[in-house]
């Protein structure tokens, strides 16, 4: 069994650099995929190509898709031997819906602003406050010392190409402290679109950076439950 880890916007495998050794310590191979996010010629199909190339001839794959990776991971399921799909703080598309359209269709801006107001925060986007608020300081320093990842708009505009969700066991794991995709918002969207309940764990949007050991335990629990 192999975990294949799909990042969100910016496409950096680095996002999973704390999770990969935690999974290895539990005896599991884990591959974090770099997506061609800065390439203006690459769309979602090319992102899926990168994941399929990383999988190679491996079988019994568990896909883990973070955030925008929720648009890419389903495109991989009929092109590789995927046993389980785990969506992590992810976007869930409808057939024909582009990533650009997803925000308004789900009511994200209103939900995020309402959540921020309940917590006594402003509703505007703040990279550190929204994404890194629970990430250890040394990891934040490492992240901010890097060049900011580029994200082309090419994959954002075309409609999501699938007619339906793939027939692969799917689980949804959400950080209950996520300020960008609030828990109550995700509960509604995931129930409406996948008819799934959201599982929760502590942590914000970048939970693979903030709580890698706990996340590895949760992923392993999904896997072992599936094989029983």
CATH of the domain at 192: 3.40.50.1820
pLDDT value, residue 103: 99
Enter the tokens of residue 110: 């209103």
pLDDT value, residue 147: 86
Q: pLDDT tens string for the chain (228 positions)?
A: 999 999 999 999 999 999 999 999 999 999 999 999 999 999 999 999 999 999 999 999 999 999 999 999 999 999 999 999 999 999 999 999 999 999 999 999 999 999 999 999 987 899 999 999 999 999 999 999 988 889 999 999 999 999 999 999 999 999 999 999 999 999 999 999 999 999 999 999 999 999 999 999 999 999 998 864
Q: CA-CA distance, 72 to 76, in Å (whole number)? A: 7
Domain count, the chain: 1
Q: Counting every residue, how long is the chain?
A: 228
pTM comes to 0.97
Q: Which residue range forms the structural domain that includes residue 210?
A: 2-227
| Sequence-separated (6 or more) residues with CB below 8 Å from residue 213 | 22
Q: CA-CA distance, 11 to 46, in Å (whole number)? A: 12
DSSP code for 82: E
């Amino acid at each position: 069994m192999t975990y294949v880890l799909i990042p969100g916007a910016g496409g950096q495998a680095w996002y999973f650099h704390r999770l990969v050794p935690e999974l290895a310590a539990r005896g599991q191979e884990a591959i974090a995929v770099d997506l061609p996010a800065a390439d203006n010629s690459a769309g979602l199909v090319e992102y899926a190509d990168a994941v399929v190339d990383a999988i190679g001839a491996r079988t019994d794959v568990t896909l883990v898709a973070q955030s925008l990776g929720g648009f890419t991971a389903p495109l991989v399921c009929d092109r590789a031997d995927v046993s389980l799909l785990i969506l992590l703080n992810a976007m869930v598309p409808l057939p024909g819906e582009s990533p650009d359209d997803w925000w308004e269709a789900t009511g994200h801006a209103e939900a995020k602003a309402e959540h921020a107001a309940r917590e006594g925060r402003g509703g505007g986007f703040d990279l550190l406050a929204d994404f890194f608020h629970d990430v250890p300081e040394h990891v934040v320093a490492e992240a901010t010392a890097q060049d900011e990842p580029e994200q082309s708009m090419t994959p954002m505009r075309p409609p999501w190409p699938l007619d339906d969700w793939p027939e692969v066991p799917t689980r949804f794991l959400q950080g209950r402290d996520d300020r960008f995709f609030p828990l109550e918002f995700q509960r509604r969207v995931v129930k409406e679109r996948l008819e799934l309940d959201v599982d929760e764990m502590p942590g914000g949007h970048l939970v693979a950076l903030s709580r890698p050991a706990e996340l590895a335990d949760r992923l392993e629990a999904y896997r072992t439950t599936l094989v029983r």
